[in-house]
Amino acid sequence: MHALGNYHIRKGDLPYMDDSINGFYKAENAAALYEPIQDWRRTHRADTHMNTVDTYFMSFSTMPQGWFANSSAFDLAELSKQERLILARFNVEGKSEYACRFDFVDGEESVLLYGHVKQEENGDRTCIGGDALYFQKSDGSKAEIVSPVNQFDWLSLHKPDSHGEPVVDAQGATLCSTYHADFYGMGFQTDLGQCVQDERVRVQNGNHWLLGTHVRSYVYN
């Protein structure tokens, strides 16, 4: 128990326990001491970090490893806590969203783009870039970054045979995302350590989506 307690302290869980445990929270101290959880600030240890117990339970998992296609048979509600934990995520406007990728079609060209999963009330899902981003098409028009319904890939970081290895794209560049409070997105790292997507992925002012700070990379667990 001592080791498990130390693990959660290092991970950053215990300082925030006053969210749900009254013994850690006093109303008169709220103004000075209390601050809600902000996932993007918890950079000292990744949310996907697993202790020995988590690793043990994942050894029985039948969930696909690495990138895998979305399907009607895939139900988040049926996943274990550890399986949900190991799905790649990134910060989107203060919320931790599931990462995804899909092939965007521009004329006769197909471009691999990254985004986060949007769940509809009817159960359908799409992979979206978000309101802050758009794709500059070859004819000069702007296009929303969104996959066809239910046609995208999830990313499971559970891949024991590749433990500790970075998640890379077809060109060998490491997958990355930003944990910045005011920006969001996922892409791949350049030799300069910048996180980018295809140069036609733009922010609303027309600039190429590119971030050089507040960037994290992904490795297999």
* pTM, to two decimals: 0.74
Domain containing 84: what range? 64-217
Is residue 153 situated within a structural domain? yes
State the chain's mean pLDDT as an integer.
82
Q: Could you tell me which residue, 77 or 49, shows the higher pLDDT?
A: 77
Is residue 48 situated within a structural domain? no
pLDDT greater than 70 at residue 17: no
Please give the tally of structural domains in the chain. 1
pLDDT greater than 60 at residue 44: no
Task: Write out pLDDT tens, residues 160-171.
Answer: 889 889 999 888
Is residue 24 situated within a structural domain? no
Residue 38's pLDDT band, with cuts at 50, 70 and 90, is: low
Is residue 30 situated within a structural domain? no
Q: What does the pLDDT read at residue 41?
A: 55
Pairing of strands 142-143, 210-211: unpaired
HEC profile of 178-207: ECCCCCCCEEEECCCCCEECCCCEEECCCC
Is residue 123 situated within a structural domain? yes
pLDDT greater than 80 at residue 62: no
Task: Write out pLDDT tens, residues 130-147.
Answer: 999 999 999 999 999 999
